[in-house]
Structure 1
């Protein structure tokens, strides 16, 4: 269980992020068109999992915009922006913002991703939503970088995530 804060108030997650140098846990998530996608659909790509509570909050929206901009510069890399937002909200946001370089994925159906990756809030006003995290996966499916943001309102360390991709 990770102890973090939400607006300065204590909050906990259901577990810990997966360990470095282990295989990324498999997942099935929902795309904006309501089709399902799994980790295996991204085999042979480097991945940045940008995990957050809701695209309808300022920091979450900023992280999607930032990674959208950076994704255009990366080779053989997919940026997966993952939340429990409904796919309709994700599609609306991307359409309004001109977001085209990231894959928006939702864990709204089962919540398994949040539990399997240890990132779902266990308590607080955001209980069951996903905490702000970054997981970087290399082309072989190994986790090479993780970050659990200690204060949910803070942005992730974009540079560390991008450096991990470049060095993977």
Structure 2
């Protein structure tokens, strides 16, 4: 269990992020067109998993915008923006914001991603949503960087994630 903050108040997740230098957990998520995608679909690519509670909050939407901008310059890498938002909300946001360089994925169907990556809130006002985290995975499927933001209202360390990606 990870102890973090939500609006300055204690909040906990059901587990811990995957450990650096270990195989990343498999996942199956839902794309904006309601099709499913799995970890194996990204084989041979470096991945940045931008995990957050909801695209309808200021910090979450800013993280998608920032990673969208960063992704435009990435080679052999994909940025996956993952939340429990319905795919319709994700698609609406991307259309309104002109987001084209990241993939929006939803864990709304089963919540298994949040469980396997240890990021599901188990208490607080955000109970059952995903905590703001970043996981960088190399082409071999190994975790090379993780960050679980200690105050949910804060943005992740974009520079550290991109740096880890460059050395993946």
TM range (shorter): over 0.9
1:117 CA drift (Å): 0.3
Alignment partners' CA distance in 2, 1:20 and 1:144: 5
5+ residue gaps, structure 2: none
Matched, 1:101 2:108: no
Matched, 1:142 2:128: no
Aligned to 1:66: 66
**TM-score, reference length from structure 2:** 1.00
Aligned to 1:11: 11
Write out the 4+ residue segments of structure 1 that deviate beyond 2 Å after TM superposition. none
**TM-score, reference length from structure 1:** 1.00
Alignment partners' CA distance in 2, 1:103 and 1:123: 28
Aligned to 1:50: 50
Q: 1:1-168 counterparts in 2 under 5 A?
A: 1-168=1-168
1:107 CA drift (Å): 0.1
Alignment partners' CA distance in 2, 1:74 and 1:97: 20
1:15 CA drift (Å): 0.2
Number of matched residues? 168
SS at match of 1:156: coil
Alignment partners' CA distance in 1, 2:159 and 2:167: 12
1:155 CA drift (Å): 0.2
5+ residue gaps, structure 1: none
Alignment partners' CA distance in 1, 2:144 and 2:18: 10
1:14 CA drift (Å): 0.3
